Structure 1
């Protein structure tokens, strides 16, 4: 790439000690070369290549962007930490990371070790991550919603060499460690003076771009979570990709302030946005979690210019009473996935900002995005294939489907190097890795359709397709219609067996007001029947008090009816199957 604009010439020669002054930009290559910042679109981005490590990239960023804000947290009296807010610049962060590097290294921690981290959404999580990655240590974030048995599984599967924890989470981590077959020392993250010597020595070979930087556990739809191994190269490539998409998603040379309420055990905040802000001299604002009552006050208080969202955030914010802050903000755009088509334009009009729908996953988070004008608002469009993200849409036999027809999306980098910048594999599950990569294409499990112009539209997770009387029905489509009704707070649609029609539509609904339950089943059925072809309306409907979710508010459908329970036998279920009649006056 050509170099333009801001220059930060750096002579890079590999050093023996990765802890060497992080305020300098002496790097870790065995060869000398000059690196510069360069302009890509509107953004100023630190130049990296396929050999760059996270430690090297951070050194370059700290030298180029020193006094710029790097990490922040809003004021939070409700939190156990940083109640008055928090902000740290690149230069100060580099000094703190260097101190952490020296503390870990002095006890023998280094390349090849894994460290579990239970720190909630503290910005210090990211400082520790930078220090650990600089040393070649892999970070294993722990979901703070995990119960003891889930923590025990994560520790066993990752074989963590150490666990660091915040004070208020110590008892929780101790409980998981107590029943884990794999034992590891636990130390407070803010006092490393008690660090033990690791049970196994660190590796002596150099840290490279192929070195494991993180193991992130996917929620999955069945069975135990799978640990996705992510390399330094993967993580940096995801951030650089995001930083250089341009158009409506352009990062400006002066940097942005990116508000990301998603948890740091999730690829969105800890990898995608974090490495993007590092490479562009921007600031990541890390609240403790999403809260609709605090959202706009935190966004305005922190002067956010970009927000990250999930689909569940959209209706929750729309349901809030109007406030002055909701339009008195500096947000240029939002980046996220899952905005219900019926609510997308309504959100943009009310809050005066574009929501750019994207697609990505832990296994590959160089996101596709619908960011070029004119966007296809309200259609579930999420972008077109691009150089570095080739896409096919296939049937169950891995054959391409016709344009406009639904099929599973499979992806790769290119034919020569299909796995470049993808995850390194599922930890201790080579069979699952091989199966996901059959035919040298990664099988995403997402059902999409592709227009003649290449635009991709999300249909549903492959496993959320309901097969009824020969019709393929997307659960997400029914969920979107139900969610648009004022009676509905939350909804999940499942497939249940049907003795006559193979499968039937089963809707689980959390009402906005439980007092409205009388007559609600009929009202919602009629609502669906008006909006959808008759066969898509719920055949079964059950009102529930709540739905199980992950920390990112994704509904865990496989936990709604555990232990093989037949949803149709639930107390209070409404059997609406006889109401599903084809109306000869309607087409579809």
Structure 2
């Protein structure tokens, strides 16, 4: 059995040398300025071994960390595997990070090398100087520069427990945390996907998995890459999600599996139906967060199931849950129920067990005598946060979930994103997903603001495709709320609407909830905000 990611790939290359491992579609090739086409397992293996030899000759080894700022190029995976062979941990760097974020990452992770796109070398060098850290830089095709320090680890000590990657959380409530991910984390993710079966069954040597998700995130890096390595499949990592050309890419790449985020189906459903909507080879999609009202219509229109799943960077596949078997309870935010190797608890704010149909925070661990199997090894330089997350022997996810009487789990929201209005718990993500479907809305973030009578009120911050003309903001706000009232329970609709030029986002394009909360507090009563509370009246049942 393989004990490192590199050894797992080497075994796949031995079993399937002539099978395609990586595919670069023409659109991605043009965007990146690289060659389109496919790279077989044997060809990839040869390149990885050359890179490994170069890194070894330059003095890199067990215990070093190297940053990778290569976007979704094949070079990301090839350099990752080569460095992994030597016990070097990789730190994926999001290309969207800027000065302060890079300074923090370089200083916190203590990378001594960054393999990066040439246009980013200056910003990386400047950030390293600001952080007071020595940092060698190289382009993906360069000969590695000499290591700036001796490897701290023993060459023969590389194995399952060795740090394989350091992934940073998005930092929606504070500074990003560095999740230490050992080889075991990635190996188990691939094995889990290979073996889970049901509607997510993978066929050895035949799958072509298309993902627009970034390799700097665990979904693409752990699940997509390692699933293909473990089954001899082909990974099609595109530069990003292109709505207008998505189905053309799906068809031309001969994708059999796609990975998605919830916003993608919402955007794709806005396009008018076409005769060739089902003209593809996709058997299933793997993702999370699809709007409940769009789930069934999407599957009916495009002809394949979207399998909703739950996991976190911290949990990996140690506690992943997926709705890969019927009944999937489509349209209910159901993500299935745990398998025998995962244990789940739902607890209220007082730590009491939540009963059937009651919301509670999701606590998870792996079953058996290794409750942290498949999970991250901890937060770098933050033992207190690690111990807090694992309080009482359970990993506290911060997600609010409900278990129905039949045992199936429904996602409600992140714990800190729940708005409590007049005794009703409102999921910010649910309101956001509905408002995003309005044709005028480009982006949306929903927050709670204080209300003297109801406790909380719903405030929607909207970015429009075309900003409302002077004097037209109030009318547009009322139009959007009137529209929302036809799609949401009256208490969930926005009581305030504010139009912004941009939302506060993290470098990974997630809503910066802390900044949003502070921003929202000052919007009611300002010239940028329309009070729509009077529109929120209990509606008569639709007959």
TM-score range, shorter chain: over 0.9
1:340-489 maps to which residues of 2 (within 5 A)? 340-366=291-317, 367-414=320-367, 416-489=369-442
Residue of structure 2 equivalent to 1:571: 527
Aligned to 2:501: 545
Give 1:216's aligned residue: 167
Q: CA deviation at 1:428?
A: 0.7
Q: Unaligned stretches of 5+ in structure 1?
A: 1-47
Contact 2:399–2:415 (Cα < 8 Å) also in 1: yes
Q: Is the 8 A contact 2:65 2:113 kept in 1?
A: yes
C-alpha displacement at 1:569, in angstroms?
5.0
Tell me, yes or no, if the aligned pair for 2:92 and 2:216 is still in contact at 8 Å.
Answer: yes
Give the deviation of 1:135 after TM superposition: 0.9
Q: Offset of 1:564 from its aligned partner? A: 8.7
Query: How many residues of Structure 1 are paired with residues of Structure 2 in the alignment?
Result: 535
TM-score (norm 1): 0.86
Question: Secondary structure at 2:479's aligned position in 1?
Answer: helix
Partner SS state of residue 269, structure 1: helix
Q: In structure 1, which of residues 221, 225, 239 is the aligned counterpart of residue 176 of structure 2?
A: 225
Matches of 1:95 and 1:408, distance apart in 2: 47
Check conservation: 1:507, 1:542, Cα contact below 8 A. yes
Number of the residue aligned with 1:40: none
Q: For residues 97 and 243 of structure 1, what CA distance do their matches in structure 2 show?
A: 23
User: Residues 470 and 561 (structure 1 numbering): CA distance in 2 closer, same or farther, change over 3 Å?
Assistant: closer
How far apart in 1 are the matches of 2:515 and 2:274? 37
Shift of 1:202: 4.1
Q: Which residue of 2 aligns with 1:35?
A: none
Render the CA deviation track for 1:83-119: whole Å, top value 9, x for unaligned: x413111111111111111111111101000001111
CA contact (8 A) 1:312 1:553 kept: no
State the distance in 1 between where 2:363 and 2:517 align.
30
Pair 1:199 & 2:149 matched: yes
The Cα shift of 1:498 comes to 2.6
1:80 lines up with 2:36 in the alignment: no
Q: Deviations over 1:129-174 (max 9, x none)?
A: 1111111110001010001110110001101121111223223323
Does residue 133 of the first structure (1) align with residue 89 of the second (2)? no
Task: State the distance in 1 between where 2:255 and 2:45 align.
Answer: 23
2:40 counterpart of 1:89 = yes
Report what 1:156 is aligned to.
Answer: 107
Conserved? CA contact 1:300–1:330, under 8 Å = yes
Number of the residue aligned with 1:36: none
CA positional deviation for 1:513:
4.7
Higher share of residues assigned helix: 2
SS in 2 for 1:319: coil
State the 1:565 CA deviation: 6.1
1:49-198 maps to which residues of 2 (within 5 A)? 52-76=3-27, 78-82=30-34, 84-193=35-144, 195-198=145-148
Partner Cα distance (2:110, 2:276) in 1: 47
| 1:213-272: CA deviation from partner (whole Å, max 9, x where unpaired) | 000011132111111110000111011101211111111133200001111111011111
Alpha carbons 1:332, 1:353 under 8 Å: kept: yes
Q: Normalising by structure 2, what TM-score?
A: 0.93
* Change in 2 beyond 3 A, CA 1:221/1:554: closer
Q: In 1, distance between residues paired with 2:506 and 2:271?
A: 23
1:236 is aligned to 2:187: yes
Structure 1 equivalent of residue 246 of structure 2 = 295
Contact (CA 8 Å) 1:297, 1:325: kept in 2 or not?
A: no
RMSD after superposition: 2.2
